[in-house]
Structure formats: C-alpha cells, structure tokens
A and B are shown apart, each in its own frame.
Chain A
Amino acid sequence: DGGITQSPKYLFRKEGQNVTLSCEQNLNHDAMYWYRQDPGQGLRLIYYSQIVNDFQKGDIAEGYSVSREKKESFPLTVTSAQKNPTAFYLCASSKERQSFNQPQHFGDGTRLSIL
C-alpha cells in the first residue's frame, strides 16, 4: 500500500544537539511538506518542497533545515538553534506541485521531546 512513513515515532533531544526526522513516501507525489503541531495551535508550516532539489520556507522555518535530494524523501533537521523544539511533527505530500485542489496525505508523525 502506498503511503507516508515517518520515523522514529518518538525522539528525544539533548541540549545543543541536532536531530533529524525522516519522511519517506511511495505515492510518487511531487510536493512534500513539514508541519509542527503544538497543543491548541493547529498545524504550522515549517518547510515545503514542490520538486526535487528545491524547497521553500514556511511560516516557522527558523531553527529547522531540510533537503530534497530524492523525490521520495524529505528529511527535517531540528537544529540546536530551535529553542523550543518539543512538538508533534507531521510530514505530508500532495500529488502535483503548484496545483490547486490537491488533498494532502499525512504520515503518523514524530513526537519530539527535550531531555
């Protein structure tokens, strides 16, 4: 079955440490997205990529970095510059880039906590 796989499900970060969250999709989708979800805040867009080797900042990109070297993969690095990284991180994809009327497909998230 096609879908989006996020790993790990739970992740702990020490002070000053960078951590990388994995997101892989086998839906052959062009566009991929990273969101952060805090309690009562809904989803906020961190980064998105509409095509391989290209990505754009979202609303809250500071302290995060991404790469898009392969169509299937869109890893997110939470750097030590992100002072409040504790949150639920969701990866999503949609079929076509810069196209309206596209539903997004989500992974089951990674919960990141500070040690």
Chain B
Amino acid sequence: SQQGEEDPQALSIQEGENATMNCSYKTSINNLQWYRQNSGRGLVHLILIRSNEREKHSGRLRVTLDTSKKSSSLLITASRAADTASYFCATDAQSGYSTLTFGKGTMLLVSP
C-alpha cells in the first residue's frame, strides 16, 4: 500500500525560482526521507528527518515535517536546470521493520 503521496504530480518552473513539493502519509512514522531520481537512473538519498524534528536543511534543500498533519514539504531554493528530476518521499512504519514505502513522486522541470 502507498504510504506517502506527493503533491503536485508535476511542477514546471524557471531557473532561480523556488520549488516546493509536499508529501502526505497515513500512519505514524519514525522518520521520513526524500529521494531524487534523474530520468532512467536509480534514486539518490537527499535528506532524512526524524519524527521529533520539525525542520532540516541541507544546502539549498529545506525539509519540514508536521506529524500532527502527517505531512512534509521539500523546498528547493534558487532552482537550477540540473535540479530537473523526480522527487520521492519515503516513510518507514513504527512497527519496527526497516522497509520504506515510497510515494508516486513529483516530477520537477526547471527551465533555463
């Protein structure tokens, strides 16, 4: 079953603009992760935020987590054409297993 759902499904912006993607999930989690996938390639881990954290930064990435609303957002500031990719959120389950459940992803297109 799909735990995380990203919104929007697709996003098109110009270079230099900010891009915001949202993820909603259904059950309680230990942590939430964001991944990036370039076309035809594997996923690359971007950032992990624990359930007791509200915000985390990594370079031009900012992730927020609101466990009361069961939602997270990924903000990419000052987007570049090289940021064009699909972005996925992934959640674990508090049941104790180390498997992740991925959402369907947001496809981001950054035009020069």
Contacts and interface: CB of A to CB of B under 8 A. Distances in A.
A61 to B, nearest CB: 13
Interface stretch (B11-19, B64-72, B91-99): B91-99
Given A40-B104, A59-B1, A100-B92, A45 B99 contact: yes
Contacts of A16: none
A41 B2 CA distance: 9
B45 interface: yes
Contacts, number: 63
Q: Interface of chain B, helix or strand or loop or mixed?
A: loop
Nearest to A45: B99
B31 interface: yes
Given A41-B104, A106-B44, A109-B41, A101 B31 contact: yes
Interface in B86-112: 88, 90, 92, 96-105
A51 to B, nearest CB: 11
Interface of A: 4, 6, 31, 33, 35, 40-45, 48, 50, 58-59, 90, 92, 94, 96-109, 111
